[in-house]
Amino acid sequence: MTDTAVKRSGRIKRHIRIRKRVSGTDTKPRLCVFRSLKHIYAQIIDDEEMKTLLSISSRNPELKGRPGSKTEAAKLVGEALGKKAVEQGITEIVFDRAGYKYHGRIKALADASREAGLKF
């Protein structure tokens, strides 16, 4: 296996371990993050109903094409996600980092969504 495949399989194994413990409910949904090479995606999920309550990414029209680094794009996604969640009445969430290390873009998104009003 190549280095990329080994890293990906390790992340997927970590994500499975995390998902055994982390689950979203209607009162406290799960914020799941996916990070690609260019973009970052986040969605708020109710695992009991198996529904996505809210999703946003750096590819959304209101966020797309802004100058800056990928970390700054993650901050914008976190702010927008937090504002939309608070508008829908979601204030408390469970954070699912999906096997990624909690630093860089993942941390920037989490910190920005906390500043926008989400508690986790």
Domain membership flag for residue 120: no
Residue 112 near residue 27 (C-beta atoms within 8 A): no
Mean pLDDT for all residues in the chain: 94
Q: What contacts 106, CB < 8 A, 6 or more positions away?
A: 33, 35, 74, 97, 100
Domain membership flag for residue 30: yes
pLDDT digits (tens, 9 = 90+) for 56-93: 999 999 888 888 899 999 999 999 999 999 999 999 99
Q: What is the pTM of this model?
A: 0.89
Domain membership flag for residue 53: yes
Q: Which candidate, 57, 58, 66, 53, places its Cα nearest to that of 27?
A: 53
Strand order in the sheet with 94-96: 51-57, 40-46, 30-35, 94-96
Q: What's the domain count of the chain?
A: 1
pLDDT number for residue 35: 95
Q: Which candidate, 41, 19, 40, places its Cα nearest to that of 30?
A: 19
Domain membership flag for residue 39: yes
Domain membership flag for residue 102: yes
pLDDT number for residue 99: 92
Domain membership flag for residue 29: yes
Domain membership of residue 25 as a residue range: 3-115
Q: Which candidate, 14, 41, 43, 17, places its Cα nearest to that of 29?
A: 43
Domain membership flag for residue 76: yes
Domain membership flag for residue 35: yes
Q: Helix (H, G, I), strand (E, B), or coil: what is residue 87? A: helix
- Whichever domain contains 104, its CATH number is 3.30.420.100
For the cut 90, the answer to whether the pLDDT of residue 25 exceeds it is no
